[in-house]
Amino acid sequence: MKKIEEMDKSELQTKIAELKDLLEEVIEERDIILGQGNLHLSSKLVIKYADEIAQIKEDISQAERLLG
């Protein structure tokens, strides 16, 4: 897989769309999992989702900056 810095404009546009879809999916999954009040959920799980969402958002920002 190419690094974001090595992608051309077309690849960046595709990557941004993929990342935005992934972000939606992860947020939806997080909301479903963390919304289950009848289960004990580890704080590590909350941190995992926060870290994953933050990384995806950073990747989107980086790709958008490179796209200019």
**Cβ count near 60 (within 10 Å):** 19
pLDDT over 80 at 61, yes or no: yes
pLDDT over 90 at 63, yes or no: yes
Length of the chain measured in residues: 68
pLDDT over 80 at 35, yes or no: yes
pTM, to two decimals:
0.88
- What is the token pair recorded at 11? 């690849």
